[in-house]
Structure 1
Amino acid sequence: MSTSTTSAKGSILVTGANGGLGSAIAAGLAESQAWGAGYHGLYGVRNAATATALHRSLSRAASLSHQHDVIDLDLSRLDSVRQAAADINRRVAEGSLPRLRALILNAAYMEGAEQCFTPDGFDMSWQVNYLAHFVLTLLLLQSMDKEHGRVIVIGSYGHNPLDKRNAGFSWYAGDEWKSLYHNTESLARGTWSSSKDYPTADAGIRRYGAGKLCLIMMMHELQSRLADDPALSNICALAVDPGGMGSSLFRRSNFLLRVIAPPLLPLAATVMSLFAENPQLRLTQRSAGDVLRAVFDTQVLGEYPRGVYLDGRASASTSEESQDMEKRTSLWSDSVRLTNISDSDTALARWQ
């Protein structure tokens, strides 16, 4: 599906655009009087032909002049990531697509007691939540708006076992789970918190948290490397924790999270919003608005919000582990090696 034109001021790429938050972000952009007509949406989904939630969201804005493409972008296959990036880079280079104003790294994957692996040989949760986004970002830096571009990471309080919102739950109970990154290989190959060793839903939730931790570590490390690059130093990397939402993320988890929680969470979020400015549970529409604010806001966030972490609308801090420079650089160099990134793949000067 394509409504391509070069009249837009910039492009916005959203990964996982058929999910609950992703389709809400697409709807929020399409329906916005301020942004919908001015920016071209690139909505990445595993299969464009079956992206029913996204198509439903965009159909409500059909009368608006929001230019967009729904593109095949299967994060469980790195060749699909490379192909999608190559197509976007080609279109930007030839002038048929405006430069990328923002990459919204939204796609997420969570398992329960089961554990799947990608055709590339990596743990599914780790690749979809982190590694594929790492590759996509490095490949697309050449097509970013070099003056106002932003890379938006969708975070999660699951990245931090010490976050008070994880208190009382079993997945991080015990001292062995207070640190999520010990080495890249155990996360990449799925031997850490594996379903073989821990056949419960907690194992999958921990692997999800570790993937989100790696994504946030990438955000910090990317920002450091962008700052050292004269050509890309105005591109900002920042993150948004959307809070707890009722979405399709839990569809592979246990009965409580898969069946009971999704219909109850929106009701609880509505009630909590009456009593708190930044509640722990949020409607997807509210979180989508917070993400789009991170893309466009300059009044509160400033012109260049480098390395900012937002919990919804509030400034927050990432975990101490995510800011560990030794772990960050180890993860980065291992990711380059595991994905065979080369100098010709990226515009980033300090990519190794």
Structure 2
Amino acid sequence: MPSTIVMTGASRGIGRVAAEHILREAPQAHLVVAARGATGARLATELGGNGHRVSHVAVDLGAPDSVRSAALEIRGRLDRGELPPLHGFVGNAGVQYTNALTAGPDGFESTFAVNVLANHLFVRLLEDRFHTPARIVVTVSDTHFGDFAHNLGMVPGPAWGSPEVLARPGAFPKPRSTAAGRTAYSTSKLAAIYLVHEYARRLRAGIDAIGFNPGFVPGTDLARDAGLATRFAMRRILPVLTRTRFATSRAAAGRCLADVVLGGTVAPTGSYVDRDQVARSSEESYDPRREAELWDALERIIEPYAG
């Protein structure tokens, strides 16, 4: 059945692999890649060979106004029949900075803006255009466990606080430090899991929400803002860990993401999928009070953009 899947973070890393698998395994799907203008246009051309249906919408995920414009453009194309019915959204884009002070044009801390706020704004603006069955997949991370077993101690665990504070620069101690930037990342991924739980409660029946954890995937551009030594280790040294249980290759993680998006991995709404199977996320990630608090805060934050 022809269907539209909207995807962020498809230009590189596991997202690029997943996009290629989605198009190969679901030839009737129309993939809309949401990316910066020139990147999105190039990506649509590269993915759109062999009869695959791919188009793009320009977006700066760190700017809520831009996310709103992209979502409204997709709504318009759906309403005009330029796209088949919407059955999927993949929030795969993610950023990590070497500080907790980087901000976008609206003043939101960039890690939170891209990893949390952009996904929520997309989902809320597209929610009434989904045809069921539909699946929303948000790429999360096992850094939210905050322990050595899940990330070899490379990323500090989350430090939860008021969502209004987390959304702004300087939410963590020593905000200019790399540790603060990495804490912002793990905290944003905990927030994403909270949102998945809230979507499972609040979205209408037939729209499933899944959190997908690819595991530690060295060799991607997630650490592109890190120092030279870290970037070298991520690209040249740490990939050897993919031969162990501590890491996942880009190819394997991308295939797993595609399987979750297309329903090949069976997972009820609200699930946390660890690579290729449903698993339990951290104990901290099951907190209905925090989940409701985050939902309410995000609804207040997006109100100027969601009208």
TM-score (norm 2): 0.91
Candidates 43, 55, 62, aligned match of 1:54: 43
Whether 2:6 is the aligned partner of 1:20: answer no
The alpha carbon displacement at 1:291 in A equals 1.0
Residue of structure 2 in register with 1:251 after alignment: 224
2:210 touches 2:269 (CA, 8 Å); kept in 1?
yes
Residue of structure 1 in register with 2:252 after alignment: 286
Residue of structure 2 in register with 1:104 after alignment: 90
Residue of structure 2 in register with 1:319 after alignment: 282
Contiguous gaps of at least 5 residues in structure 1:
1-7, 227-231, 273-278, 346-352
The alpha carbon displacement at 1:341 in A equals 5.9
In structure 2, C-alpha distance between the alignment counterparts of 1:142 and 1:221, rounded to whole Å: 17
Identity of aligned residues (%): 27
2:99 touches 2:182 (CA, 8 Å); kept in 1?
no
Candidates 262, 272, 293, aligned match of 1:296: 262
Whether 2:145 is the aligned partner of 1:156: answer no
Whether 2:219 is the aligned partner of 1:219: answer no
In structure 2, C-alpha distance between the alignment counterparts of 1:260 and 1:57, rounded to whole Å: 29
* Amino acid of the structure 2 residue aligned with 1:288: G
2:41 touches 2:56 (CA, 8 Å); kept in 1?
no
* Amino acid of the structure 2 residue aligned with 1:54: L
The alpha carbon displacement at 1:152 in A equals 0.2
In structure 1, C-alpha distance between the alignment counterparts of 2:236 and 2:36, rounded to whole Å: 25
Greater Rg, structure 1 or structure 2? 1
* Amino acid of the structure 2 residue aligned with 1:134: H
In structure 1, C-alpha distance between the alignment counterparts of 2:229 and 2:143, rounded to whole Å: 18
2:7 touches 2:92 (CA, 8 Å); kept in 1?
yes
Task: Give the aligned length.
Answer: 306
Whether 2:71 is the aligned partner of 1:117: answer no
In structure 2, C-alpha distance between the alignment counterparts of 1:123 and 1:109, rounded to whole Å: 11
Higher strand residue share: 2
In structure 1, C-alpha distance between the alignment counterparts of 2:188 and 2:194, rounded to whole Å: 10
Contiguous gaps of at least 5 residues in structure 2:
none
The alpha carbon displacement at 1:51 in A equals 5.1
Secondary structure of 1:12's partner? strand
Whether 2:144 is the aligned partner of 1:181: answer no
The alpha carbon displacement at 1:144 in A equals 1.2
In structure 2, C-alpha distance between the alignment counterparts of 1:248 and 1:220, rounded to whole Å: 28
* Amino acid of the structure 2 residue aligned with 1:76: G
Structure 1 stretches of at least 4 aligned residues deviating more than 6 Å after TM superposition? none
In structure 2, C-alpha distance between the alignment counterparts of 1:163 and 1:88, rounded to whole Å: 41
* Amino acid of the structure 1 residue aligned with 2:43: L
Map of 1:72-111 to 2, 5 A cutoff? 72-111=58-97
* Amino acid of the structure 2 residue aligned with 1:242: P
1:44 touches 1:71 (CA, 8 Å); kept in 2?
yes
Map of 1:132-143 to 2, 5 A cutoff? 132-143=118-129
2:112 touches 2:184 (CA, 8 Å); kept in 1?
yes
- Please give the per-residue CA displacement for 1:144-202, whole angstroms capped at 9, x wherever unaligned: 122x1000010101122247213544x43xxxx5x5212112211122225xx244322
In structure 2, C-alpha distance between the alignment counterparts of 1:252 and 1:115, rounded to whole Å: 13
TM-score (norm 1): 0.80
Residue of structure 1 in register with 2:291 after alignment: 328
Candidates 26, 40, 48, aligned match of 2:30: 40
